Amino acid sequence: MAKVKTRYVCANCGSVSSRWLGRCPQCGEWNTMTEETLQPEAPRKAGSMQRTGTETRPAALTDITMEDMSRLETGIGELDRVLGGGLVPGALILLSGDPGIGKSTLVLQMAAAVCKKQGAVLYGSGEESQGQIKMRAERLGIVAPDLFIQADTSLDAVLHEAERRKPRLLIVDSIQTMYCQDADGTPGSMGQIREGTARLMTFAKTTNIPVVVIGHVTKEGAIAGPRMMEHMVDVVLYFEGDRQYQFRILRGIKNRFGSTNESGMFTMTEEGLSELANPSQLLLAERSAHQAGSVIAAVMDGQRPMLGEIQALTSHSVFAVPRRTASGMDYNRLIILLAVLEKRIGLNLGTQDVYINVVGGLRLTGTAADLPVILAVVSSFKDIPMDEYTVVMGEVGLTGDIRRVPQADRRLKEAAKMGFTRFIVPRGNMSELKRDDFPDCRIIPVVSIRDAITAAFSS
C-alpha cells in the first residue's frame, strides 16, 4: 500500500510546506498551517503530457471576435456601477461581507432583476432550503418564473444542472457550504474552497455564463479561505455597513473589467435593499447646524460627486503622548495634516488628543478632503462653528499651500443642488469654474491654509 502523503498549507496566504510550522514563513501569521492529504497521481507514460480543462487553439488577437461579449445589465443601477456597467460574460464574481449584512438578499434581488431583463437564472444554495428561499422571495415581493432554485451542497450537482439549463446567470450561496466530490476535506476547508473555485472558474470561462459566488468572512473581516481564491476570481465585491442602521455600501476590491474606485449605496428596508440615488442627502440628513468641528467636504466616490460631513474633536490629553484617531481616512495623512497645522499656523496640538470621523461610513481616498479636515480641527480647537452653508475642498501641501483638485465643477454642482451657497476652493480651480453655473453662490478662492482659515471663520 502506497504511503499517504500530506502537506501543510497556510490558510492566510496559501504558502505550502512539507511540515507543520507554528508561524507561516511567508505572511508571518501564527497557527494558520493546516494539513492536506495529497491524492496519488495516476502513472503516465514517459514523454506524455497531462492535459486539463478544455483544449483551445491559439488565435491571433486581430482575429478574435467580440460577439456575445456585451455586458449583462443586472437591472440594479448601483450594482452595475460597481461592476463597471454590468456582468461580463464568463466572469467569476466573489461577493463577501459580514454575516447578516444582506448578501443573500442582494443576490436574490439581482437574480430576479436579471430574470426580468435577460432570461433564466439558476440559484444554487447550500445554506437554505427551497422553501426558505421562497419565503424570503415573497417577503421581498419577488415573482420570477425563470428563477430556478436548487438547494444542494454538491457543487458538482449544481454545475451539472447549470450545464443542462444554460442560464444567463449562475449564483452559488455560498462557496463555504459547497462540497466537491473528488477534493479532500470537509465543506469550508481550504482544499474544498480552492477546488470549488477552480471548478466554477472553469465553468464560467468555457460556457461564457457569469457566476456570482458568495463568500463568508473571518472574525478579522477577511474573506474566509485561502487568499488564492481572491486571485483566481475576476471581481471581488465587499458588502459592508452597520447592521444597526439602514445604510449599506457595496465596494469593488478587485475588478478586471472596470474601476475599483466605484461604490454602490443601498438602504435596507422591509421590502429589501433599495438603491440610494442621492447619497449626499442621506449622509447630511442628521447634521446639526452651528456645531464646532463639523465641516462639509466635496469629495468624489469614483465618478460620483458626493458631499460628506467630516467631524473633528480636540480635547486636552492626559497622556504623555496625545492620541490621534482617524475613522474613514488614512491615519498617516492625518498625522501629516496636523504637522502642517502646527508648523505653518502655530496651532499647539502637542497637548491635544485629536479624533477625526467621516460620517456615514465613507472612506476618504483622495486628497481633496485635506482642507476640510484641517478646518474641522481648527473649528474644534477654537470652538468656533463654520457657516452651515459652506462646502470646502482642496489638497494641502507640506508648505501649507492649497492645490487644485480634479473635477471641481462636478463637486460644486452637487453642492449647489443640495442648497449650499458658499464654496471655499483652491485658486487653481477657478479657471475651470463658470460663474454662470453658480448664480446664487459665493466662490472663495484660497492659496494657503491661512487664507482658508480666515475665509472660513470670518463673519
Residue 99 annotated in ligand binding = yes
Q: Are 299 and 368 in contact (CB under 8 A)?
A: yes
| The three cell numbers locating residue 248 | 449599506
Show Cβ contacts of residue 41 under 8 Å, excluding neighbours closer than 6 positions: none
Q: How far are the Cα atoms of 39, 299, 325, 415, 441 from residue 433, in angstroms, in the given order?
A: 66, 16, 35, 14, 12
Torsion on CA atoms 198, 199, 204, 207, rounded to nearest 10: 140
47 is in an annotated binding site: no
Yes or no: say if 66 and 28 are a contact pair by the CB < 8 Å rule.
no
CA 150 – CA 244 distance, rounded (Å): 31
Q: At what angle do helices 331-340 and 370-382 cross, to 10 degrees?
A: 60
List phi, psi (to 5°) of 274.
-115, 140
Is 104 one of the annotated binding-site residues?
Answer: yes
- 350 marked as binding residue: no
User: What single letter denotes the amino acid at residue 348?
Assistant: N
Name residues whose C-beta falls within 8 Å of residue 317's C-beta, 6 or more positions apart in sequence. Answer: 323, 351, 352, 353
Q: Which residues pair with 96 in a beta bridge?
A: 215, 238
C-alpha cell at 353: 488628543
User: In this structure, are residues 251 and 238 in contact, taking their beta carbons and an 8 Å threshold?
Assistant: yes
346, HSE (Cβ side, Cα atoms, 13 Å): 1
The answer to whether 15 and 32 are in contact (CB under 8 A) is no
| Residues whose CB falls within 8 Å of the CB of residue 116, separated by 6 or more in sequence, listed in order | 75, 144
Cell of 251: 465596494
Residue 97 assigned as binding residue:
yes
40 Cβ contact list (under 8 Å, min separation 6): 2, 5
Show the DSSP H helices in 213-295 as ranges. 228-232, 279-283
Distances (CA, A) of 244 to 241, 302, 333, 357: 9, 26, 30, 18
The span from the CA of 218 to the CA of 232, in Å, is 19
Distance CA 393, CA 385 (A): 17
**387 is annotated as contributing to ligand binding:** no
**Annotation: binding site for ATP:** 97-104
**Annotation: binding site:** 97-104
